[in-house]
């Protein structure tokens, strides 16, 4: 179609925040651009109300289910601003001839940096120490060094690789599992590839970098946690649904696990009464892994390029369905 006649919907709240050119260039190329009116991820009803007359949709963490897509009378492409497409009903999109894309690798460095930050903050009890000093106390915490420890990575994809690169300077042993592991990368980085059970059992710090799939939903169960080394730490910067939160609470409450760093929850934002939020050995962050200047700009450029490519009759670079 003629891009100058295209109508776009852009819902990620950080789109163009760190690079205004994302908005100005997009607005120059198409007829109209409508932005998220709520300042937060959209519900199915919100999406349904906004889709009529829209040709291209650069989507944040909105609920894009069958009900939402029923009102898509002109939509040709959903360009996910991020990697996960679990909120998109791919079958419904396919039925309506809508192409779905995402932005793999755009936020990998930022998420890896957060995972490492959570690891260090847990190891040295940084939030607790800060709080104590603010209260006029001067405690002597006994921390854990990464040096000489085993760090396990479940999912050696783009983010897992970036984490491994950053861990290389900490003189720790890196252990990883991935069903499609890049063996040459592992050899070059002195990463030991092992089975999932072995990575779980041997790791002092276990970092999750898994997509949300039927086989990973609830993967971190009571049985999974019982396989972990006593006194170890769990870090999750992937999807909240991967972790059974009640089982994790029990493992932490009993002292079997020493701590957890969580950037994702099953329900977001989590209920303030969620017990995990009130455990001193838990560091919780508001799903901010991709919220850096570099990541948001990369996701914006990737999503915009693929959205416009589809509308211009070209094949997108990062097609999912």
Give DSSP secondary structure letters for 198-227: HHHHH-SEEEE-----TTTTT-B-HHHHHH
Q: Tens digit of pLDDT for each residue in 31-63?
A: 999 999 998 999 999 999 999 999 999 999 999
Question: Residue-wise over 28-61: b if at least 16 C-beta within 10 A, else e?
Answer: ebbeebeebeeeebbebebbbebbeebbbbbbbb
Which residue has 């969580």 as its token pair? 262
d(CA 64, CA 297): 23
d(CA 44, CA 12): 15
Mean pLDDT rounded to a whole number for the chain = 96
d(CA 130, CA 242): 30
Neighbours of 10 (CB within 10 A): 26
3-106+293-311 shares its CATH topology with 108-284: yes
Question: Residue-wise over 208-235: b if at least 16 C-beta within 10 A, else e?
Answer: bbbebeeebeebbeeebbeebbeebbbb
- Alpha helices for the chain (secondary structure H): 21-29, 44-50, 66-69, 90-95, 108-123, 126-134, 158-167, 183-188, 196-202, 222-227, 245-253, 293-311
Catalytic residue among 80, 209, 239, 258: 239
Q: Predicted confidence band at 224 (pLDDT cuts at 50, 70, 90)?
A: very high
Domain residue extents for the chain = 3-106+293-311, 108-284
287 is catalytic: yes
Beta-strand relationship, 192-193 and 32-35: unpaired
Catalytic residue among 95, 268, 278, 314: 268
Higher pLDDT, 226 or 83: 226
At 108, list the tokens: 């990998």
Neighbours of 97 (CB within 10 A): 9
Q: Which residues contact 142 (CB under 8 A, 6 or more apart)?
A: none
Predicted confidence (pLDDT) at residue 291 exceeds the cutoff of 90: no
CATH number of 108-284: 3.40.50.720
Beta-strand relationship, 192-193 and 205-208: unpaired
* CB-based contact 100:78 (threshold 8 Å): yes
Tell me, what's the pLDDT at 8? 98
Q: Tens digit of pLDDT for each residue in 130-179?
A: 999 999 999 999 999 999 999 999 999 999 999 999 999 999 999 999 99
Tell me, what's the pLDDT at 84? 83
DSSP label at 83?
A: S
First and final C-alpha spacing in the chain? 20
209 is catalytic: no
Tell me, what's the pLDDT at 290? 87
DSSP label at 193?
A: E
**This prediction's pTM:** 0.84
d(CA 302, CA 101): 9
- Which of helix, strand or coil describes residue 195? coil
For residue 47, CA distances in Å to 28, 59, 180, 306 come to: 24, 10, 35, 20
Q: Which of 53, 105, 98, 46 is CA-nearest to residue 77?
A: 98
d(CA 107, CA 291): 8
CATH of 3-106+293-311, one of 3.40.50.720, 3.30.360.10, 3.40.50.620, 3.40.640.10: 3.40.50.720
């Amino acid at each position: 179609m003629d891009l100058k006649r295209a109508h776009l919907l852009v819902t990620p709240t950080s789109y163009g925040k760190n690079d205004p050119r994302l908005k100005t260039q997009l607005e120059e190329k198409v007829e109209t651009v409508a932005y998220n009116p709520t300042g937060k991820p959209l519900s199915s009803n919100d999406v349904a109300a906004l889709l009529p007359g829209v040709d291209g949709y650069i989507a944040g963490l909105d609920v894009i289910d069958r009900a939402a897509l029923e009102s898509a009378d002109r939509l040709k492409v959903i360009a996910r601003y991020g990697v996960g497409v679990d909120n998109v009903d791919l079958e419904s999109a396919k039925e309506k001839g809508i192409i779905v894309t995402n932005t793999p690798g755009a936020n990998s460095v930022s998420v890896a940096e957060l995972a490492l930050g959570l690891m260090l903050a847990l190891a040295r009890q940084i939030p607790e120490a800060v709080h104590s000093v603010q209260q006029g106390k001067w405690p002597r915490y006994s921390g854990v060094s990464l040096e000489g420890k085993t760090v396990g990575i479940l999912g050696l994809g783009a983010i897992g690789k970036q984490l491994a690169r950053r861990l290389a300077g900490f003189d720790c042993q890196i252990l990883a599992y991935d069903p499609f592991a890049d063996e040459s990368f592992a050899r070059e980085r002195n990463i030991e590839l092992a089975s999932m059970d072995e990575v779980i059992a041997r790791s002092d710090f276990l970092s999750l970098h898994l997509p949300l799939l039927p086989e990973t939903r609830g993967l971190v169960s009571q049985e999974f946690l019982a396989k972990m080394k006593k006194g170890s730490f769990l870090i999750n910067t992937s999807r909240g649904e991967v972790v059974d939160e009640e089982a994790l609470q029990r493992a932490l409450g009993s002292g079997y696990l020493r701590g957890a760093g969580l950037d994702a929850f099953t329900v977001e934002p989590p209920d303030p009464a969620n017990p995990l939020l009130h455990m001193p050995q838990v560091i919780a962050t508001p799903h901010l892994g991709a919220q850096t200047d570099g990541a948001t700009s990369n996701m914006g450029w990737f999503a915009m390029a693929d959205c416009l490519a589809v509308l211009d009759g070209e094949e997108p670079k990062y097609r999912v369905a």
